[in-house]
Amino acid sequence: MHHPRNIFAYYDPSTKIWSGLPRKPIFNPVQSLGDLILQILERNATKLMQISADSGAEVTGGELRLRTIRIAQNLTRMGYGSDSKDIFTMIVRNGEHTAPVMFACFALGVPVNTLDPSFQRDDLSHMFQAVRPTVIFCETESLEETIAACELAAITPRIILMGSHVEGYDQVDRLMMVTGQEELFVPTRITDPVQHLAVLICSSGTTGRSKAVCLSHSICIAHVANFFECHPSDRAFAFSSLYWLSGLVILLCGTILGATRIITRQTYRPELALDLIRKFRVSALCITPSQAYGIVHSGLAKPEDFTSIRHAFCGGSAVSTSLKRSFEQLLPGRFLEVAYGFSEIAYSVSFSKGYLYRDGSVGFPRAGTEFKIIDDNGNALDNGQDGEIVARGEFAFQGYYGMDQPFGDMLDSDGWLHSGDVGRFDADGYLYVVDRKKEMFKYNNFQISPTEIECVVQEMEGVAAVCVVGIPGEPNDLATALVVRKNDCAEVMDAEQIVRKVNLQLPDYKHLRGGVYFAKELPLTPSGKVLRRKVREMIMNLMDNK
């Protein structure tokens, strides 16, 4: 049986540290991200680099470069640039002008906070208060919520629209006007790319409010651009907006590695995903677990739809073995690669590769990373023991922007990033994530992993989705499930069946003492992660109305 130990992963028994290959990034990370991208676009001047699935518009590297330069020069004429303390916010979908606006910001050295157009005013204002943007790029349909959020945050930024014209607001088209100075453009010199911020990406916000994660130019080059495998011959696609790391990965990997990106402003639907994969012969696909599940269970997908796929990657939340195997039935002879990573360093610190996967794992350490599993006192644990996963690499977590304690409890004095996840390594170098430390709860002093209960419930034929949370009781937290039933099983599956199933398969302290409740859907982040705090609120409301 294949395993990564002593080939791709190494274990030091004296320190109990696992490490990946000591491999350096392909591109020098100590440089301006904007300068690197402009060089890549110039090198690929005649190559097709972007295709809009919505309009059919095709853009070469040379055209993208010219748009980037014009946007940067026109923003400079408006008084914005790296010499100021500007931060821009982008609340946009994957439209035709998204990439050149982002690249122009990199070229000017202006950090960009990326948010999703589905955000409402409360979530927008929360981020605005932390970041204090001077310019906001937003979709026309997001304008009303954006204005309201600015009022709540007491800020008065310039708002530039990426969609249809609205009286009194600038349009992004204005930024692409001819300057006559295009050939004289030189990107802003970044003196310290390791520290100079490029992107403020949101933490997942599944257990609390999102925070603005600081990503430097060096982190974006070393980590994001090496996150996902792309070839110049690839057509790369993801539904994710730039709010989520997978969207940023496709933008940067696809561009820097010379692939052709397929973009759409439309949101995910299984039938749309299949149509785009077929029509544009997508070869490098990045999807979330919920999207993969939707495709597998749509009843529409066939192996012949995926003949163009060379590399498929799934991450962002837990990918079950059953989902991985089910999706691979659509990829004869190929694999759905899974990964585990952190927004805080914009990297998948472990990943699977072909046959190098073991059921239930998240792969093995990626090149340039180190791992330990520690107990509550910070002591390193042996293989096979559950504890908190901590990791570190060449470029450390830079903190959360706009917070009094920018590192919180994430980074220790030795540079270890504390994930808040509970997991273990096996003797062959595979990492297993048991649960979120903050999502675990206790009953009679026994630790309960929601994921373990969810896996049992998810096995039931009539269950489409499930989330288990701890609901405060006296004196313990009570395991409680919120279940989405498949349409054809709504009448035949009841709470008692689910309770009995869990009682039969799990020990007493893991039983669903809080009960089982049903909903039409689970609350999700824009990238498909379950919002457990919202699930808890939904269950509490259902309890109150019972």
Same domain, 293 and 174: no
- Residue 488: what pLDDT? 64
| 80-107 pLDDT tens trace | 986 678 999 999 999 999 999 999 999 9
> Average of pLDDT values for 464-487?
87
Q: What is the mean pLDDT of the chain?
A: 91
Range scoring the smallest mean pLDDT among 92-101, 261-270, 435-444:
435-444
Range scoring the smallest mean pLDDT among 97-101, 436-440, 507-511:
436-440
- Residue 489: what pLDDT? 66
Residue 2 predicted with pLDDT over 80? no
In a domain, residue 248? The reply is no
Residues sharing a CB contact under 8 Å with residue 261, sequence separation 6 or more, in sequence order: 49, 50, 51, 99, 235, 236, 237, 250, 251, 254, 255
- pTM of the predicted protein model: 0.84
**CATH number of the domain where residue 485 is located:** 3.30.300.30
> Average of pLDDT values for 255-279?
97
Same domain, 199 and 303: no
Residues sharing a CB contact under 8 Å with residue 192, sequence separation 6 or more, in sequence order: none
**Binning pLDDT at 50, 70 and 90, where does residue 475 land?**
low
In a domain, residue 534? The reply is yes
Rounded to whole angstroms, how far apart are CA atoms 352 and 340?
9
- Residue 208: what pLDDT? 57
Per the structure, the count of domains in the chain is 3
> Average of pLDDT values for 421-425?
93
Last residue of a domain, which of 407, 436, 465? 436
Same domain, 426 and 450: no
In a domain, residue 254? The reply is no
Residue 323 predicted with pLDDT over 60? yes
Rounded to whole angstroms, how far apart are CA atoms 395 and 198?
14
Range scoring the smallest mean pLDDT among 270-279, 337-346, 377-386:
337-346
Helix (H, G, I), strand (E, B) or coil at 169: coil
Same domain, 68 and 209: yes
| 324-335 pLDDT tens trace | 999 999 998 999
* Domain coverage including residue 465: 441-544
- Residue 324: what pLDDT? 94
In a domain, residue 158? The reply is yes
Residue 445 predicted with pLDDT over 80? no
In a domain, residue 258? The reply is no
Same domain, 357 and 475: no
In a domain, residue 263? The reply is no
Same domain, 105 and 196: yes
Q: In the structure encoding, which two tokens stand for residue 345, read together?
A: 């360093």
What whole-number percentage of the chain has pLDDT above 90? Answer: 70
In a domain, residue 52? The reply is no
Q: Residue 46 class from Cβ within 10 Å (0-12 exposed, 13-18 middle, 19+ buried)?
A: exposed
Residues sharing a CB contact under 8 Å with residue 20, sequence separation 6 or more, in sequence order: 8, 9, 10, 364, 365, 366, 367, 368, 369, 370
Q: In 10 A of CB 75, how many CB atoms?
A: 22
- Residue 253: what pLDDT? 94
Phi then psi dihedrals of residue 277, to 5 deg: -60, -45
- Residue 248: what pLDDT? 94
**Binning pLDDT at 50, 70 and 90, where does residue 205 land?**
low
In a domain, residue 519? The reply is yes
Phi then psi dihedrals of residue 200, to 5 deg: -110, 100
> Average of pLDDT values for 185-195?
96
- Residue 75: what pLDDT? 97
**Binning pLDDT at 50, 70 and 90, where does residue 293 land?**
confident
Which ranges constitute the DSSP H helices of 368-515? 450-458, 495-505
| 239-248 pLDDT tens trace | 999 988 889 9
Last residue of a domain, which of 207, 231, 255? 231
**Binning pLDDT at 50, 70 and 90, where does residue 158 land?**
very high
- Residue 180: what pLDDT? 97
Same domain, 461 and 351: no
- Residue 194: what pLDDT? 96
Residue 527 predicted with pLDDT over 70? no
Same domain, 428 and 451: no
| 126-139 pLDDT tens trace | 999 999 999 999 99
Same domain, 215 and 349: no
> Average of pLDDT values for 526-545?
85
**CATH number of the domain where residue 338 is located:** 3.40.50.12780
Last residue of a domain, which of 410, 436, 462? 436
Same domain, 272 and 358: yes
Residue 193 predicted with pLDDT over 70? yes
Residues sharing a CB contact under 8 Å with residue 380, sequence separation 6 or more, in sequence order: 15, 16, 17, 372, 373, 374
Give the CA distances from residue 301 to residues 284, 298, 319, 528, in Å, rounded to whole numbers and listed in that order.
17, 7, 19, 20
Long-range contacts of 56-59 (CB under 8 A, 24+ apart): 57/96, 59/96
Same domain, 4 and 84: no
Same domain, 365 and 284: yes
